[in-house]
Structure 1
């Protein structure tokens, strides 16, 4: 027989009954909509196959083409079957999904990163074929990278401080059952074995999962450690619910747990708001839509309410996970001051040494200060704040917001900054929101500073523009800010200042999300190497 593609899940140790792999809704359907057939003695008496037949469906594209056809089409229906082969090996329950079998599983009960750890322990580190990463900043950036031939991790440009490894695929040597593997929460492989040998295969995978060989080449994946202590999880969940009820979000937003083609999604629904359709997955909009019901938001509802997407190709809504699983959040507990992140329905503790390293660097190298800058007003747009900032400065600031200058040889222009001060502060302003990312803000400051330092024609265009904007009789005041035509930039005369408009009850640097801090550090290192000073400040929002 040929090779069989197997998608394998392992369940947590506290899942002891085979039927407990389902949620309560699915469990109640066993014998009605979900059917069960036991395996024979040759395979193992503790195994069984669960399956569910789907109703016949008419393809969505059919109604689109019918109006242009000269003849009637025969009846066209599609049908799918979901199936799970479930068994127990050495006190752990495994499920192999066929068809849409994954949809039957309660994903909260699977062993997180089972497949990833198995793959990292088995793959030859020089024979990796693909990696999937996620970067959790103030938005989630998913990346899938493949190479045309086997390569080491360095070929994928993975940032081991910021990127979270979600899956890896590659070759393994010396295995009789399979020679390639892909691992994430599940193991995916093409097995050259019959079904009777599946228990032996599962024993191999369990042994690989329990190994710590991965630490030699991939130890950095442990920067995030899964929190298993129920007391800690309860404390974190309570903090999260309290933050959501307050409506003042610190470092919490929504993101789909799966990588989907966003061009194929035209709407979202989130339970709890009576069928409201959202053009984007936005937590602020959802909380506002809840209205008075926000006070009754609970952990139970977060784990019960589902997020669904409507695919443009079918116009049908598909559940993609619970609201809780779609939340991305950072929380600190007062006791111990440890940093935790909620990702895809699981709390992780960020490595303490990494947190200390990041915070120490920021404290030593960057000034956190927004003194002298007025609060933003509720509902005030970023552009209006910049205009008011300049207007109230008494001539000490110059507005450059949205003014684009073209570097030499470039096809597109860049903004130098939003506001420039006579003291040489190059000020970039951003209102922290769903649509404006801090990573973009920090990168913008670095690109601007590089261009200002190295491109004489860019500086000349900037100088001419400023001279035209300054009132008659005041040009001498501003001529000292920029170097003359034949002079070089002296970077230590300038400060790159980031002003971030954001509501927050957090003190010190903690209003800035942890992964945004790492992005800031990467950009700051470049700026400091060029000779600039760097300052970051939070502008409060007041009535």
Structure 2
């Protein structure tokens, strides 16, 4: 029986082959003789010089120790396309845009036995959360806690169906396909032909129905068209285009914002696209002359109060935008963290149908404060019947802190737990929604959490108000209200939220529904007057032209 060999296989996009798929600065050698290559194949080899490992000098090892990196890329034309077979750590020499991002995943979906899965890699775009789940036994996809409504499947591992076992028995697929096979070199072209057929097949929809309501866009022409729509919106200063920090940040750190790429920037106390327009206008930049590469080159910089840089993000990666294309009827496209996603309009309609009835008029005062904490404190101080519980903790001793809510009030005969967020960033809102669900779940599961909440209520409210509220809490007559501070018109209802925030909200509301807890969303009017940008404080040493 022939020994199986490990292969990592990429499918190049149309128009790419050995002549144009490698990075210009690659260090691979193509002047290598090889008698066993498949017909038409091209070989590139990594043959680095021996060098000592870093820990040899670190520990002052006297023995002569060296190590080398070896690897190879074989380009194999098959069926009008070209495959790249990677051996060793050399795949990074391929141009990122040269291969199909979903080749391995599509092949695994079409070849794996849906009852014999072993591992999944998933992405929750709303929270930017990446997760790998492995089970000790072969299982179905549902046992991996895969949420078809909100999660993107990035990689899948399992056993293949019987009809494919003569080629390979196990497969892992993401951008590339990783398999072990006993196929000899003269049959690699045949193997790749079958892999190409599996990639082009849609049989997976029967075994994995509704596998992805959200799918990354992979067609270069479509991406180009979408980038064109983005540029048109940017140049027109479309109010539906937003600029956000593409990860969860701690606003209590007193972070400020600046920009780089077109010259020195003022330092601002908030992040929104109007500031970026101000920055460009200040430097006389013609918006019509800016392209996608300029947006990738320009940077959103988070700074401290003195303007010292902390984190940097590409402007393109920081943009959030929804749009449509004329030749893609029934689909909406969403830009998030620099990637375009395709969403079926029926799914978006389903989101709106579920969420819009949960949006209510705000019963909290407008927001006109420097921070969420000051707003919550002011609301609590302005109404003796409202308990401000911001930053309080109800978790049992020895467990991670859990905040019950920001504000607690009696509304319509129930205890209303308000969770307030000054943000429409997907990651921030996903955290907000999870916070609301987790607090209620903790109170349902841990009596000590309810005892702690009662103590907090009695510390803040007068006896009569406290007694009434405690009674409602202990009788489980509760409601969760997510208060989102925004300048958007409340009439927009759920459409005021980014797509992935709507998905996270629906998931959270359904979790509350299972606990028989009503949920609402209110939009709190943001009446803060934006402060003018100020110059970065200069230090004695030379200051660079840009942040």
CA pair 388-59 structure 1, distance change in 2 beyond 3 A = farther
Q: Aligned equivalents of 1:191 and 1:240: distance in 2?
A: 44
CA pair 356-51 structure 1, distance change in 2 beyond 3 A = same
Secondary structure at 1:437 match in 2:
helix
Residue 442 of structure 1 and its aligned partner are, at CA, apart by 1.7
Q: Aligned equivalents of 2:198 and 2:433: distance in 1?
A: 41
Q: Does 1:445 align with 2:439?
A: no
Q: Aligned equivalents of 1:158 and 1:354: distance in 2?
A: 17
Q: Aligned equivalents of 2:436 and 2:464: distance in 1?
A: 26
Q: Does 1:237 align with 2:231?
A: no
Q: Aligned equivalents of 2:38 and 2:520: distance in 1?
A: 65
Report if the CA contact (8 A) 1:390-1:397 is conserved: yes
CA pair 50-132 structure 1, distance change in 2 beyond 3 A = same
What are the Cα deviations for residues 182-212 of structure 1, in whole angstroms up to 9, with x where unaligned? 1111111112132222111111211221222
If the length of structure 1 is used for normalisation, what is the TM-score?
0.75
Quote the residue 2:352 is aligned against. 359
Secondary structure at 1:97 match in 2:
strand
Q: Aligned equivalents of 2:71 and 2:290: distance in 1?
A: 34
Mapping of residues 148-163 of structure 1, within 5 Å = 148-163=136-151
Q: Aligned equivalents of 2:3 and 2:78: distance in 1?
A: 25
Secondary structure at 1:542 match in 2:
coil
Q: Does 1:499 align with 2:483?
A: yes
CA pair 22-460 structure 1, distance change in 2 beyond 3 A = closer
Secondary structure at 1:525 match in 2:
helix
Please, which runs of 5 or more residues in structure 1 have no aligned partner? Answer: 67-71, 256-269, 275-281, 307-321
CA pair 339-537 structure 1, distance change in 2 beyond 3 A = farther
CA pair 420-110 structure 1, distance change in 2 beyond 3 A = same
Q: Aligned equivalents of 1:90 and 1:324: distance in 2?
A: 40
> Which of 242, 249, 255 is equivalent to 1:250?
242
Secondary structure at 2:505 match in 1:
helix
Q: Aligned equivalents of 2:485 and 2:8: distance in 1?
A: 46
> Which of 176, 181, 185 is equivalent to 1:186?
176
Secondary structure at 2:209 match in 1:
helix
Structure 1 residues 353-362 or 80-89, which shifts more? 80-89
Secondary structure at 2:180 match in 1:
strand
Secondary structure at 1:166 match in 2:
strand
Residue 48 of structure 1 and its aligned partner are, at CA, apart by 0.7
Q: Aligned equivalents of 2:298 and 2:364: distance in 1?
A: 45
RMSD: 4.2
Secondary structure at 2:210 match in 1:
helix
CA pair 115-541 structure 1, distance change in 2 beyond 3 A = farther
Mapping of residues 152-301 of structure 1, within 5 Å = 152-172=140-160, 173-174=162-163, 175-225=165-215, 227=217, 233-238=223-228, 240=230, 250=242, 254=246, 298-301=291-294
Alignment length (residue pairs): 481
Quote the residue 2:418 is aligned against. 427
Structure 1 residues 33-42 or 219-228, which shifts more? 33-42
> Which of 46, 50, 66 is equivalent to 2:44?
50
Residue 503 of structure 1 and its aligned partner are, at CA, apart by 6.6
Quote the residue 1:509 is aligned against. 494
CA pair 456-65 structure 1, distance change in 2 beyond 3 A = closer
Q: Aligned equivalents of 1:435 and 1:344: distance in 2?
A: 10
Report if the CA contact (8 A) 2:30-2:45 is conserved: yes
Quote the residue 2:69 is aligned against. 80
Quote the residue 1:19 is aligned against. 19
> Which of 490, 495, 505 is equivalent to 1:520?
505
Report if the CA contact (8 A) 1:325-1:343 is conserved: no
If the length of structure 2 is used for normalisation, what is the TM-score?
0.74
Q: Does 1:370 align with 2:355?
A: no
What are the Cα deviations for residues 347-399 of structure 1, in whole angstroms up to 9, with x where unaligned? 331122211111110013x124435422244xx232222112323x3434221
Quote the residue 2:252 is aligned against. none
What are the Cα deviations for residues 456-498 of structure 1, in whole angstroms up to 9, with x where unaligned? 665454344433333xxx53244333318xx95252xx43111
Mapping of residues 471-490 of structure 1, within 5 Å = 474-483=462-471, 489=475
Q: Does 1:59 align with 2:50?
A: no
Q: Does 1:542 align with 2:528?
A: yes
Report if the CA contact (8 A) 1:38-1:48 is conserved: no
What are the Cα deviations for residues 40-73 of structure 1, in whole angstroms up to 9, with x where unaligned? 797455221123444655533345433xxxxx62
Q: Aligned equivalents of 1:533 and 1:108: distance in 2?
A: 46
Report if the CA contact (8 A) 2:376-2:390 is conserved: yes
Quote the residue 1:106 is aligned against. 95
CA pair 412-180 structure 1, distance change in 2 beyond 3 A = closer
Residue 180 of structure 1 and its aligned partner are, at CA, apart by 1.3
CA pair 405-247 structure 1, distance change in 2 beyond 3 A = farther
Quote the residue 1:263 is aligned against. none
Residue 504 of structure 1 and its aligned partner are, at CA, apart by 6.3
> Which of 416, 423, 433 is equivalent to 2:404?
416
Quote the residue 1:9 is aligned against. 10
Mapping of residues 262-411 of structure 1, within 5 Å = 298-301=291-294, 329-333=320-324, 338-342=331-335, 346-364=339-357, 366-370=358-362, 372-377=364-369, 380-391=370-381, 393-406=382-395, 411=399
Report if the CA contact (8 A) 1:328-1:341 is conserved: no
Please, which runs of 5 or more residues in structure 2 have no aligned partner? Answer: 248-258, 264-270, 300-312, 530-547
Report if the CA contact (8 A) 1:400-1:419 is conserved: yes
Quote the residue 2:135 is aligned against. 147
Residue 156 of structure 1 and its aligned partner are, at CA, apart by 1.5
Q: Aligned equivalents of 1:521 and 1:134: distance in 2?
A: 17
CA pair 117-247 structure 1, distance change in 2 beyond 3 A = same
Q: Does 1:96 align with 2:89?
A: no
CA pair 228-112 structure 1, distance change in 2 beyond 3 A = closer
